[in-house]
Amino acid sequence: MTTLVTGAGGFLGAHVCALLRARGEPVRGFVRPGKPRAFLAELGVELAVG
């Protein structure tokens, strides 16, 4: 099951995404426009911007 992490571009959300991906979990990260998000894409996080 895919986990949605809101605030994935922030400190806590980014760490949650990294931990879930390290466990092999599919993750969708919700980030604000203009937030840095390249590191999330490198982790394999599916991004939703809004």
Q: Do 8 and 40 contact (CB within 8 A), yes or no?
A: yes
Distances (CA, A) of 50 to 1, 23, 29: 22, 26, 11
The pLDDT value given to residue 6:
97
3-49 CATH fold: Rossmann fold (3.40.50)
Q: Is the pLDDT of residue 17 over 90?
A: yes
Q: CA–CA separation, 8 vs 13, rounded Å?
A: 4
The pLDDT value given to residue 5:
98
Sorted by where each begins, the domain ranges of the chain are: 3-49
- Among 6-10, 12-16, 23-27, 34-38, the range scoring the smallest mean pLDDT is 34-38
